[in-house]
Amino acid sequence: MTAALEGIRVVDLTSVLSGPLCTMMLGDAGADVIKVESPAGDQARTWGPPFWGDQGAEFLAVNRNKRSIVLDLKTPLGRKALFDLCARADVLVENYRRGVPERLGIDYETIRKVNPRIVYCSISGFGDSGPRRDQAAYDSVMQAFVGIMHMTGAPGTPPTRASVSICDISAAMYANQAILLALAARSRTGRGQRVEASLFESQIAWLLFRAVGYFATGKAPAGKLGSASAHLAPYEVYATKDGDLMVAALNDRLFRKLAAVMDLPELAEDPAFATNAKRVKNRAALNAKLARRFRERETAEWARRITDAGVPCSRINTIEDVLRDPQTAARDMIMTLEHPTLGTIKVPGIPIKLSDTPASGRRAPPLLGQHQHEVLTEIGWTSAEIEKLNEKTP
């Protein structure tokens, strides 16, 4: 089957997480992604632990379906090679700190002169305008800035970072969408354009009902609630006889089912708990009754009984638990790839399923400069020219 982005060539000037994840998604969809690295390589190659052999796990997680070449963009020869790549490319993605592309002479205005059809994507911390545009921003810093740390964790605990890099990941997703939109527009106009995504804007967008609630009431959202929801009940973790269980009875119908399966039918008849708004208001009294009953049985039994009743719930899994769960295998969410030095490696699978143009894992994350000769030959460089370039980029 033909992949959705087969025939699209992407020049990937990104490093670490947000940019590489964005370009990996393009590669998964069939694009030919050329990862252009400095002589030092993407710094995530050396980040760890954990490592797989000599490769950082973070690098391996977000760099499949790419070919790697090494260019020193501070040199005229390195820039010439990049321009030759861009002349034949459809997309360029960069996540340099603001101002760096201009200093290197590889900014959008320069690249569009080489190829007016190119889609030039910039991923940054705060975007390309505004008083904070020049500030550096990493995921943890952005989680603090946009209020995530203020809302995350148990009451009375210090500010807590979400352990998954949600700011980087969301920026990658929006950048990917922006590129696809620009390619769709190009199919009509014949012109490329510059597109942007930032960690800041992606997280403002993700505030969703938190932000709208503030606009509606003029009051900041409640602080830390642990696993609970500020506007739903019961919707949190409860301690069982031998562990914990997340329960999400988020409407009146599900609450009645939960009360029945827990042999507490009186809760469903109690006016204090008749609606979600009343259950939120009387959360402490409701939780006191539920907590006593949850402690009478083990997690596995409660999970079975509540799930069978049609109420969403889950025990608190570890990463190992979920990767071993049969649902993960059934949905092809573990992918095996053949790495040139590590042998068979496993990485998370592709979450988007297309019936006619499926995404796939074709290449393992590349070694630094692994495809230097192959890629440069494709764009017309001679062996002598490649050798001269390699002398400048050890």
Residue 160 maps to which CATH number?
3.40.50.10540
Residue 257 clears pLDDT 80, i.e. is over it: yes
* Residue 271: DSSP 8-state: G
Residue 230 lies inside a defined structural domain of this protein: no
Q: What is the pLDDT of residue 391?
A: 87
Of 293, 315, 337, the residue that ends a domain is 315
Domain shared by 354 and 243, yes or no: no
Mean pLDDT of all residues belonging to the chain: 96
Number of domains in the chain: 2
Over the stretch 6-49, which tens digit does the pLDDT of each residue have? 999 999 999 999 999 999 999 999 999 999 999 999 999 999 89
Domain shared by 57 and 86, yes or no: yes
Confidence of residue 394 (pLDDT cuts 50, 70, 90): low
Over the stretch 74-118, which tens digit does the pLDDT of each residue have? 999 999 999 999 999 999 999 999 999 999 999 999 999 999 999
Stretch 218-226: mean pLDDT: 85
- Range 75-79, long-range pairs (CB < 8 A, 24+ positions): 75/392, 75/393, 77/388, 77/389, 77/392, 78/389, 78/392, 78/393, 79/104, 79/105, 79/106
Domain shared by 59 and 82, yes or no: yes
Lowest mean pLDDT among 22-36, 82-96, 136-150, 212-226: 212-226
Residues 6+ apart with CB under 8 A from 282: 272, 273
Residue 313 clears pLDDT 90, i.e. is over it: yes
Domain shared by 21 and 78, yes or no: yes
Domain shared by 153 and 286, yes or no: no
Of 288, 315, 342, the residue that ends a domain is 315
Cα 185 to its chain centre, rounded Å, is: 25
* Residue 312: DSSP 8-state: -
Q: What is the pLDDT of residue 1?
A: 74
Domain shared by 66 and 188, yes or no: yes
Q: What is the pLDDT of residue 223?
A: 78
Q: Exactly one of 168, 242, 308, 321 is catalytic; which is it? A: 168
Residue range(s) defining the domain that contains residue 66: 9-206+327-392
Residue 224 lies inside a defined structural domain of this protein: no
Domain shared by 102 and 171, yes or no: yes
Amino acid letter, 303:
A
Residue 121, helix vs strand vs coil: strand
Residue 152, helix vs strand vs coil: coil
Residue 211 lies inside a defined structural domain of this protein: no
Task: Identify whether 168 is a catalytic site residue.
Answer: yes
Residue 271 maps to which CATH number?
3.30.1540.10
Q: What is the pLDDT of residue 159?
A: 92
Residue 300 clears pLDDT 90, i.e. is over it: yes
